[in-house]
């Protein structure tokens, strides 16, 4: 069993930055991803990073603004978010797959484990 704990969410003004972290325990070298869920909407893919941290991909909504990173020694993945917009508001979830690699635009079914989520609110 893999346990994922997200942190780093909060309230930020439009144009600001936040860095999310996801600490994993119970496994390592898994492909990881970030999804988000806005109020009243389904969960959407944000970014994914391979088990070795050598391949990253992003949704069109966040590419060029968000950067995913991975520290395998700490079993932690990060999501550096820049130029945040009100449309980025939502609960951000960390997910892990038992595989080293997942599709470049994965869906929820590609992942086996989920964190509880951390709230990100972008508002002036």
Q: Quick one: pLDDT at residue 29?
A: 82
Residues 16-67 pLDDT 10s = 999 999 999 887 789 999 999 999 999 999 999 999 989 999 999 999 999 9
Identify the bridge partners of residue 10 per DSSP, sorted by sequence position: 120
> How would DSSP label each residue in 42-87?
-EEEEEEE-TTS--EEE-TTTTTTEEEEEETTTTEEEEEE-S--GG
The predicted structure's pLDDT at residue 89:
97
**Interstrand relation of 32-37 and 118-122 (parallel, antiparallel or unpaired):** unpaired
């Amino acid at each position: 069993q893999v346990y994922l704990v997200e942190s780093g969410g909060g309230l930020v003004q439009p144009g600001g930055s936040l860095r999310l972290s996801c600490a994993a325990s119970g496994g390592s070298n898994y492909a990881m991803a970030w999804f988000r869920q806005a109020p009243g909407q389904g969960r959407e893919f944000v970014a994914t990073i391979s088990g070795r941290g050598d391949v990253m991909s992003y949704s069109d909504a966040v590419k060029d603004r968000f950067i995913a990173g991975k520290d395998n020694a700490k079993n932690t993945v990060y999501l550096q978010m820049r130029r945040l917009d009100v449309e980025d508001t939502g609960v951000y979830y960390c997910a892990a797959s038992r595989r080293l690699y997942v599709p470049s635009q994965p869906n929820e079914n590609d992942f086996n484990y989920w964190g509880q989520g951390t709230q990100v609110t972008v508002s002036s």
